[in-house]
A and B are shown apart, each in its own frame.
Chain A
């Protein structure tokens, strides 16, 4: 070959390659890449409200080709205002959870063996109705108990009332919010309920004592908390753990667990003693100030110091900051407050401190929420009344509880524990009683004694695993539920409607209740055709357009005055008609009329043991989201928070797996990794609640992490309202090697 030829061919080839290569690359920019198009916007966007937790944020569910692609906040909804927490955004993870209950099931082996046979709805419902009738015939309607949690439970509660049983209980009272409702009711004549009327967005000082906002992810609360931070509000956080909220606080008080009441009394002492209270407000609305002044006189910061571990200077300084911002100072009531058995009195102390600073009914404190007027559905009156509530040994026990006590109903199921004839049947709807009611051994014992147990559930929970009949309920995205008419700063009504038809053979709660009712001869209490017709009738009766409601998801009501200064009524439902710093009611019942500190109320951990504290992660709701594949990606397993010095003493390494054993010798079923951290009080360890699942059907959640509830083998019962104080268990570490 000639050189010239070679060169010619070679150079032509190279030139072609270069030009061709350049032409087809970014180099010349002629080969434009198409922008990524995930294509998740829905061809149908359906408004509803969420049920992953109990806040009920308004959502917009995007449906594309019949599948829910994503869930966003409804900008029209007053609670969400277009924003959502991670759990609400992960609703599709529940809807499409392959472990969902698909068909009705009947138990085929011993209780707890989780061996079931799929049956038709007809067979399952007939079995339930048969047992309900039999129990009523043999023992009376009161022998049937409903454990309910979540907004979908309203249909079943209606059924039970029609059936004649008063024994309807939600764990959220005795295991969660109950004490603060009682504490605030005794003081202001009103509970705080949900959503709490905390005017954080206008507050200039927020005190969090037993609240971990930011990890407790109630959407609206966190949004207002962020607004307060942006507004430059001072945040004071009291917590044995350096929470996210603590990291954003001006002051973090690392209190010794169990001593919060001492701090509150000391704060009251400073506020009163130094004349920092709202004199005018208390002159106008207060009752019992002089008694309170005398009562808190000994509770000085110096007195509180050895009990709380908090510097007296710090106690004074934070009291000054609080008082300086009044009345726009808000001491947050917290949410889950069943800790030590004196919780109603502690919540009352929080209410009283708010009262001293004049925040109730004031801007930046607690506003008075308003509700839209929607007439209830014109049902016939409940015919069967008079069956006794079975949740307490004597009717006079826990006199301030205005809801039923779940653990009491458990006790009533165990023969021999009570005098009167006990409870024979349970229905569980949307609650996992084995992981929410403390002392699960007793709950299991009660379950063994039952004649009948039916569970209405979405996922194969532990409670479902123990049941005789399991009824698969449709998720909140597949059903219509009771209209939401909350008391909030903006009155409104919201609708929950079917986004996609129920998957598998699951049915909405209204259908299950209606079917049971017709089999029990109670059909006249469910006269409407379906849940939507029920909602429609109510909406029309209120003069509103249901089509608009279904299109927008919400209809807003007229704004009402929510502060005293706007004209909201300054009326207090207390015996004196005023804010009771001294409670006549408590005095007449033989309880401390003002919260009193008793040194014996706090016990120190035994040597080598640490107080078990628990709380929330922002991506999880109790144990119900541990199987959600979207959420478990972010937070698959809880960890045991151990103080770094404690860990060094035990030789525990970060990430090392341990079991926990409590003071009663009960060891956790599974292990969890240790998180060696400076962020926890050396007296305590901390777990996020909701893990350590044992249910066979929860394939993602099973075996991951430690179940804190199985370690809560003892609890202190609040004498005022029966709340179960659960933070009274102490645990030690068992290394994996020693566990074998």
Chain B
């Protein structure tokens, strides 16, 4: 069993993201996400009092954590680390116990009403592992704010962006070591 040296990560520039939801719709149609459910969503955070205001706009999804509580808590091994550390769900093994959903600090998972198993962003692993270098959300984004690549490669775009720009992850105090980075 060869261990992958790749470490896939996603970097999103909040400076240019306008929160249009093209990412969410592209994901829905690429991955046939069930009606009424989304793997990708937009969150806005506004602070201040009129007219001294500031707002952050973020495109969010599963953070593909290095130390994923969902993988840890899964009793059947349905949630596992795939190529490049992407967190994936094998629906054949999933019993729908929902422990992973309760264990995710980001609320990124849900139950797919068609298969009755846990579902979430797969970082378009079917594209990345088939020589298509972009995820569906990355490809469609009109502001080109989404970047995906191999963090283990210092020359990759994601590595370069993280080296050059100030960035953060969501809820680092949850201790999950997310691989979705937001550029300030």
Q: Which residues of A contact B (CB under 8 A)?
A: 25-27, 29, 31, 33-38, 40, 69-73, 82-86, 89-90, 92, 213-215, 217, 219, 222-223, 225-226, 229-230, 242, 244-248, 252, 254, 618-619, 629-631, 633-635, 643-645, 677-682
Residues of A within 8 A of B125 (CB): 35-36
Alpha-carbon gap, A217 to B24, bound state (A): 15
Residues of A within 8 A of B163 (CB): none
In addition to A85-B142, A215-B18, 16 A-B residue pairs with Cβ atoms within 8 Å of each other are: A26-B77, A34-B90, A36-B126, A40-B31, A70-B136, A72-B140, A86-B24, A225-B18, A225-B143, A244-B57, A247-B55, A247-B57, A248-B15, A254-B51, A619-B20, A619-B25
Alpha-carbon gap, A89 to B140, bound state (A): 8
Question: B172-183, CB under 8 A of A: which get 1 and which 0?
Answer: 000000000000
Give min CB distance, A593 to chain B, whole Å.
Answer: 35
Q: Mark out the residues of chain B between 55 and 105 whose CB falls within 8 Å of any chain A CB in the assembled complex.
A: 55-57, 76-77, 80, 82-83, 88, 90, 92-93
Q: Can you give 25 contacting A-B residue pairs, CB < 8 Å?
A: A35-B83, A35-B88, A35-B129, A36-B88, A37-B126, A70-B29, A83-B140, A84-B142, A222-B143, A223-B144, A226-B18, A226-B144, A230-B15, A254-B50, A619-B25, A630-B25, A631-B25, A634-B24, A644-B50, A645-B50, A678-B48, A678-B50, A679-B50, A679-B53, A682-B50
Residues of A within 8 A of B88 (CB): 33, 35-36
Residues of B within 8 A of A29 (CB): 1
With CB as the reference atom, state the residue of chain A lying closest to B80: A26
Contact count A vs B, C-beta below 8 Å = 166
Q: Are B15 and A82 in contact (CB under 8 A)?
A: no
Given contacts A89-B29, A242-B46, A630-B29, contact A222 B142 (CB under 8 A): yes
Q: Are A247 and B36 in contact (CB under 8 A)?
A: no
Residues of B within 8 A of A678 (CB): 46, 48-50, 53
Residues of B within 8 A of A679 (CB): 46, 50, 53, 55
Residues of B within 8 A of A252 (CB): 51, 53
With CB as the reference atom, state the residue of chain B lying closest to A244: B18
For chain B, the count of residues having a C-beta within 8 Å of the partner chain is 52
Q: Are B16 and A229 in contact (CB under 8 A)?
A: yes
Residues of A within 8 A of B48 (CB): 678
Q: Are B19 and A244 in contact (CB under 8 A)?
A: yes
Residues of B within 8 A of A230 (CB): 15-16
Contact of B18 among A31, A35, A40, A618 (CB under 8 A): A618
Contact of A677 among B15, B46, B54, B122 (CB under 8 A): B46
The residue in B24, B25, B35 that gathers the most chain A C-beta atoms within 10 A of its C-beta is B25
**Cβ of B135 under 8 Å from chain A:** no
Alpha-carbon gap, A27 to B57, bound state (A): 40
Alpha-carbon gap, A35 to B92, bound state (A): 11
Alpha-carbon gap, A623 to B126, bound state (A): 36
Alpha-carbon gap, A247 to B55, bound state (A): 6
**Cβ of B108 under 8 Å from chain A:** no
Give min CB distance, B139 to chain A, whole Å.
Answer: 7
Alpha-carbon gap, A92 to B30, bound state (A): 12
Alpha-carbon gap, A260 to B115, bound state (A): 55
**Cβ of B26 under 8 Å from chain A:** yes
